[in-house]
Structure formats: structure tokens, C-alpha cells
Amino acid sequence: MSRTYLLEQVEDVAVVQYYADGFDELPLDQKILAWHLYQAALAGRDIYYDQRYAHALDMRRTLEAILRANPPDSGAAEPGTGNREPRTVIDSIRQYTKLFWINSGPHNNLTSRKFVLKCPPARFRAAARAATARGAEFPTKPGETLDQLLDRLEGAFFDPAVDPLVTNKAPADGRDLLEASANNHYDGVTMADLEGFTERHPLNSRLVKRDGRLVEEVCRLGERYGDLIARIVGRLRAALPYAPAPTREALERLIRFYETGEDADRQAYDIAWVRDADAPVDTINGFVENYLDARGVKGAWEALVYYVNERKTESLRRLAEAAPWFEARMPWDPRWRRPDVVGVTARAIDVVVETGEAGPVTAIGINLPNDQRVRERYGSKSVSLANINEAYEKSQLPAYRQEFCWTPEEVTRAERWGAIAGEATTAIHEVLGHGSGRVAPSLDGQPQLALREQYSALEEARADLVALYWVADPKAAEVGLVPAEHQDEIVRTEYEAYARNALVQLRRMREGTTIEEDHMRNRQMIVHWLLAHTPAIERRVRDGRTFYVVVDFTAFREGCARLLHEVQRIKSEGDYAAARALFEAYGIHFDPALRDEIVRRVDRLNLPSYTGFVQPTLEPVTDAAGHITDVKVSYPLDLESQMIAYSAERRAPSAVQ
């Protein structure tokens, strides 16, 4: 079956459609459950926009008002011939808006850096006025005119010096982490203010300073984001009759957490969600990951809805069952091995929707919950996003491999084994990496509080190192992750790809000399540490082009074991000074001349730097009474129409039961 995956490229972003094969075959009760969970995921989308940047929602609504007045197939009038702006201006606004949607605001999802509108401010203002003349509605405050709105947002739209970094974990000149970060987790708060202050709701609150006092604005019904949370809760309640008992219990616990905002209720939900190990349809919904927060504490809102891909799940299930075997042999101090590994489950899934921090830019694997206390006592659930992996693979351009591989043989290996190698290491990363190890009792199961801004990158490095170490072990073949007869080639492929990635990812940092995104910090740290401490990788130059070439695969694995031993110690002991020294030396800073070389090579081939996904659309089929008789899945194949529809749906409550 011929399918379209790569839809367009917007500057350096590939826009890709992913597909939900198998949804049509689900039983009706599972389809209806997925539909209500899908609606709950869309209901909270605006929470993340606001968390990411205080002006993001007003900016998005302003942009969408202009685009609604200038649909893609509407021709644009020449100057002086009508109310429409010339196409070059509208096209500039449209391109910026697509980047805005993909990144959930005006800051790049991977680099944290702000991008700006490229049309002149006066032309943008004229386009807004013209849209008003055609009935467009703008997000003006009471008593505020359109011009006053545009004045208020001008710096956010056009000035790169206004709020330049959404998250800044390594500010220059000793600036405060929180003051240097433009995200909306804090208002008027510095790190110094937090000395001696204990947050009651660290994960799900916004912390503000009012009249010299710190105040937690708790995200729950009746308080911060209360209206949006009420919509989420309404959809979760609608899902309950269609959920099997363990899933229903988890959803009820989630509703309770949204009602109270209390950490004890969040823990109860985490435990119920982990225990719901066999759900055929499941969701992640809430304040989950803490990458956006420079402190690494506050949770960004996200939601996913998915169903199990049984065909691809068997090897993951066997890996999870073998977790105690791997834990007992982890290459770190036995003190930090978990003596009892319980509740570890893993499945391949097909995603229906990802919102908030989860999409349109998405991970390929997830392991939750993040609470170390729950992990150690109750276990964790890992999922590999099978249809996202497939869409990435189907949309990848072969020029990447050809440009950055040292030999034709390396290209051939990557083409033959790259997908299998990537899926295997992602599975180990999520199931064994994040699900392994324990921390000192003195940390009370919360190493992130001790490791602060270094925690997320350190934890991602730990999970990657676990994957790189164990993918080469015969046990990986025994559980079915890789075919035994080709394991050596697959391992070689993965090690080469990992080294390449640390080089190629520099294409994303087109400004500055530091890396902010935690996964990219982690990858650079590992590869640069291996370059410095082992003979595994050589830096070679040919025809003015730089390559990272893996020359000793045994040394690569042994180096990963040595580094992993230290990374686990740092996490287990909460050694902030060691974590900071490790990333300062190897993970944060890069050579701008090397970056410029990589950018030139990528731009010459017009290769994208990252991917944003267009998602399936679910639509209920109803009878005369409004009851659902089926749920159909379709594929819009267009980013703009989907984003406009998402925003329209939030303004119009559904009558579907």
C-alpha cells in the first residue's frame, strides 16, 4: 500500500504524517474509550502552550485569526487591489505559524532558542487589520484595541533579544537559572528565593512571588488551568463506563488528582497506572516530564492515547520479564542495584494522539512514572511507539547516511540494520535504563532535588549507556530483541549511528555555543567522553568534512560500562558537583566552527533538522440519539488544517455522548 509520510519541509523541520493501523479492528468499547481519552488529550493542549511561554496563547490566536482570513487556497491580492496582503507577507506568517505549532510556541523545541517573524512588523499589523475587516476575532483583553494587542506582543513576535531562551540551564555571566528562562513555570522567582522554601506541590504548580512572598498556584480544578482541567476531567469521566476495571481505577485516581492537586493523590494514580499492566487502550495524561523547568522539578502537561501493537510486543514483554537478570548484572556498584525488581512491563504501542509536551515533536519510547519511589516499590511501564518509529524510518532521507558515514559499508549497514538497531536500543533504554537502579535513602527517592538542572540529562545518559552496554550482550538476542546471527553487525550499526548522531545533531544549534536540550547534552557527553577516555572513536577529516568513526567496538562497550558506573553513582548519591563537572566538560559546550561545517553540509543537501508530526483524526459515528455506534480514523495529511481544527474544537464543546 502506497502512503504519504513526508508532507512538507518548513525551514529545517520535516512535517510527517503517522498512521494508526489496527484501530479499525478494535472492539467498539475500546474505540469509544479511545475517543473520550482522545478528547481529554485535546482538552488540555492549551495548558502546555501557557506553561511554555506566557504570551504563547495570545500569539497563537493572533496568528490563527490571520490565517483563517487567508486560507491556503485563497489567492492574495496585489498591493492596492483589495484587503488581502501580498502573498509574500501571508506566506511569511504562515511559515512562522507552522513552526509555532510544531514547537508549541516561539522557542525551538530542541535548542530552546527563540525564532521570530520575518515579515516587517508594519506588514504584520496590516495583515491583522485586514483580517479584522473580514470578521476575524483577536484575543484582545477587555478594553484593549487590536493595535494595543499587537504592541503588547511585538517584542515576542519580532525581537530575538526578548525572552531568547525558553529554558536556560547554563546561563552566561552567572545569571540566575530561572530569570534566564522564559518559560512560565515561575514569575518573579530566583533560585536564591527558594533557599529554605519547601514546595507542597512541586510538580503541578506555578511558583510566583507576590508582595515578597512565594506563592504556589496549584494546577487543579478551581485553581490554575481550572477551566481546562474541568474539560479534561469531563472527558475522563465519560471514558469510565468503557474502561476495564484496572483502567477505570487508574482514571478515577487521575480524576482525583486533578480535583485535589495533592502529591499523595498523584502517587496513588501512578501506582494504579503501573498496576494496569494489560490495558489494551491506555493514556498518559498530566504533569509528567520536567525538561522544560531549568530546576528539573516542575512537570509540563502532556497527553497520549494509544493501543497495544501485539505483533511487536512479544520481544519487549520478554525483555521486561528478564529485567531481574539484567539488574543483577548492571555494571555499577552492587549497592545501587535493586534487590527486588517488580512490576516492570513493556509493550509496543500505536499512538492515536499526542498533545502538550508529547507532540507534535515526539519521543519514540517512554518509561513512566518518573517518581523514583514508585519505580522502586511498584515498578514502571515502558512503551515503544511503533507507528512513530515507522513514520520516522519511512520519511528519513538517505542523503543523511551518505553524507556522514565514513565508508560505503557503513552506509549499507545503516540502511540494512538501522531500524532494528534503533528499536532494540530504544527498548533497552526505556525498559532497563529508566527502570533500573536505586538511590541512597538520604535522597528520599527524589534525586532530581539534589541534582537540579543536571538531573534530566544525567538520567537520559544513564538510560542510553544501559542500552549501549546491553545491546551487545547475548542476552539481547536470547530475549528476541535482535537476531543472534546478525547481532555483531547490528551492534556495530548502533555504535556507528550513536557516534554520528553526536556530530549531526549540531545542525540544530544554529546560534550560540551551548546545548540546552537534555537528550542532546546526554548524547554529546557520552561520545565526547568516549573520545577523550577510550580508543573507541576517532575524529577524522576528509575533503574538509569531519566524521566520527568507530574503530574499536569492544572499547566502545567497555567505555560505556566505565562511564555508566560513574553516572549511576552520581545519581544514587545525588552528587551535584560531579554531575555538573561531567556535563561542563563533555556535554554542554561545542566548537562553533564544527557546528558551522555541519550546518553547511546539511543545508547544501536541504536536509531537515527535526520532525513534527501530523496526527490521525478520530471521528465518532452516532445514531439519532447521539450515541456512538463507531469511531472512524482518518488522516488529514496537512498540518495547518489539523491545528486550526484543534483550536476550533476547544471553543465548541461536543454534544457526543
What pLDDT, in 10s, does the model give residues 377-414? 999 999 999 999 999 988 988 888 889 999 999 999 99
Q: What is the mean pLDDT of each run of 10 residues along the chain (657 residues)?
A: 90 96 97 98 98 98 97 55 58 97 96 95 96 96 97 98 95 91 97 95 97 97 97 98 98 98 98 96 97 95 97 91 96 95 90 97 93 92 94 86 94 93 93 94 94 95 98 97 96 97 93 92 98 98 97 98 98 98 97 96 90 97 95 98 90 38
Q: Report which of 41, 28, 102 is spatially closest to residue 649, judged by C-alpha positions.
A: 41
Alpha-carbon distance 188 to 204, whole Å? 18
Widest Cα–Cα separation across the chain = 77
- Please, which residues have CB within 8 angstroms of residue 20's CB and are 6 or more apart in sequence? 350, 351, 352, 387, 616, 633
Given CA atoms 170, 173, 174, 177 in this order, what sign does their dihedral have?
negative
Q: Where are the beta strands (DSSP E) in 448-560?
A: 537-542, 545-550
pLDDT at position 301, please? 98
pLDDT at position 652, please? 42
Please name the helix (run of DSSP H) or strand (run of DSSP E) that holds residue 402, with its range, or none. Answer: helix 399-404
The CA angle 144-150-155, to the nearest 5 degrees, is: 130
Q: Report which of 497, 503, 492 is spatially closest to residue 551, judged by C-alpha positions.
A: 492
Instruction: Identify whether the C-beta of residue 553 lies closer than 8 Å to the C-beta of residue 413.
Output: no
Instruction: Identify whether the C-beta of residue 588 lies closer than 8 Å to the C-beta of residue 514.
Output: yes
pLDDT tens per residue, range 569-620 = 999 999 999 999 999 999 999 999 999 999 999 999 888 999 999 999 999 9
pLDDT at position 2, please? 80
350 bridge partner residues:
307
Q: Can the peptide bond before residue 616 be classed as cis, meaning omega within 30 degrees of 0? A: no
13 bridge partner residues:
10, 610
Cell of 26: 478494535
pLDDT at position 460, please? 96
pLDDT at position 11, please? 92
pLDDT at position 262, please? 98
pLDDT at position 174, please? 85
pLDDT at position 651, please? 55
Instruction: Sort 18 into a burial class: Cβ within 10 Å, 0-12 / 13-18 / 19+.
Output: buried
Domains detected in the chain: 19-44+167-304+636-657 (3.30.540.30), 54-165 (no CATH), 309-611 (no CATH)
Q: Where are the beta strands (DSSP E) in 39-92?
A: none
pLDDT at position 179, please? 96
pLDDT at position 650, please? 62
Q: Report which of 268, 299, 471, 463 is spatially closest to residue 382, judged by C-alpha positions.
A: 463
The CA angle 458-464-470, to the nearest 5 degrees, is: 135
